[in-house]
Amino acid sequence: MKTRKIFPNTATDQSADAAAAQSVSLPMTPKRRVAFYLRHSTTAQNSDSQLKELHAVATNRGWRVVEIFEDAGVSGAKGRDERKALDAMLKAASRGEFEILCCFSIDRLGRSLQHLITTVNDLHALGIEIFFTQQNIDTTTPSGKLIFNVFASFASFEREMIRSRVVAGIALAKAKGVKLGRPPSVTHQTRNAIEELYKKGMSVKRIAKSLSCGVGTTVMTLKDRGLYA
């Protein structure tokens, strides 16, 4: 292990023994392990410019690059199941193979706000910090954490708005007399036939078999029409 010595600012006439007594040998702080995630949407593009900038950031910050993940020709709107490198990166994070994820830009990690927040939350749950070079967002800092808390609030607001629109749409459809849900599997003609056959003395099981419908459906039809107790 590399060591370094720290010497105090002593007077020139201080004895060699005193200086030696105050020298301290300390282990060098290990470099933090960083992984890069790269993505470009078409096969005609490449990630060379992204990679160059990420290496510069890692060098300036004293990070050690341990892994590089790249999704080539994949849209950022796609989820983890359709982005092999993203999936591999998250699995590596769960194994503790790196401490920091560095991306060129937010939209490289995801174009869907919901997918982006999910990915970021998954990484934070594993203790992984994130740095986006273009936006200069660093979640190792309080300001970086604040920005992503705001993003999470927007994602929650978006979900609530979608839910509200769905509820309002259902209420409007009901007000217009629209019947919601799966259409009935038994037609009005079949129900009439059930009633007619039952009145002729045919058993419930035979009616169901002859009309290719369920016994339960036959019974419910007869109950609805007051013919079955």
Neighbours of 149 (CB within 10 A): 9
Residue among 15, 25, 41, 112 flagged as catalytic: 41
Assess whether 134 and 63 both reside in one domain.
Answer: yes
Tell me what the pLDDT averaged over the chain comes to. Answer: 79
Written as one letter, the residue type at 71 is D
Distance CA 24, CA 204 (A): 95
74 contact partners, CB below 8 Å, separation of at least 6: 39, 41, 82, 83, 85
Same domain, 195 and 151: no
* This model's pTM is above 0.75: no
Residue 194 in domain: yes
Q: How many CB atoms lie within 10 A of CB 200?
A: 8
Q: Which two tokens stand for residue 223?
A: 């109950």
- How confident is residue 66, by pLDDT bands cut at 50, 70 and 90? very high
Identify the residue with better confidence: 123 or 12: 123
- Regarding whether 193 and 146 lie in a shared domain, the answer is no
Domain extent at residue 80: 33-155
State the CATH number of the domain containing residue 96.
3.40.50.1390
In this structure, the answer to whether residues 143 and 215 fall within a common structural domain is no
Q: What is the mean pLDDT of residues 181-201?
A: 82
Question: For residue 195, is it within any domain?
Answer: yes
At 114-161, the pLDDT tens digits run 778 788 888 888 889 999 988 888 877 787 777 767 766 766 666 777
Q: Are residues 73 and 144 in the same domain?
A: yes
Decide if 79 contacts 115 (C-beta within 8 A): yes
Query: Among 153, 160, 128, 210, which Cα is nearest to 109's?
Result: 128
Please check whether residue 7 lies inside any domain of the structure.
no
Q: Report which DSSP code applies to 14.
A: S
Mean pLDDT of 90-119: 87
Same structural domain, 151 and 86: yes
Does 131 share its domain with 196? no
How many structural domains is the chain composed of? 2
- Residue 229 maps to a domain: no
The answer, yes or no, to whether residue 100 has pLDDT greater than 90, is yes
Contact 25, 43 (CB under 8 A): no
Contact 201, 195 (CB under 8 A): no
Q: In whole angstroms, what is the distance from residue 119 CA to residue 90 CA?
A: 8
Cα dihedral 119, 122, 128, 131, rounded to 10, equals 20
Torsion angles phi and psi, residue 88, rounded to 5: -65, -40
Last residue of a domain, one of 136, 155, 174: 155
- Nearest alpha-carbon partner for 1 in 35, 21, 25, 19: 25
Predicted confidence (pLDDT) at residue 46 exceeds the cutoff of 60: yes
Known catalytic residue at 15 = no
Residues 106 and 205 both lie in one domain: no
Report yes or no on 22 lying in a domain.
no
Of 155, 175, 198, the position where a domain reaches its end is: 155
Please spell the DSSP secondary structure of 109-153, one letter per residue: H-SSHHHHHHHHHHHHHTT-EEEETTTTEETTSHHHHHHHHHHHH
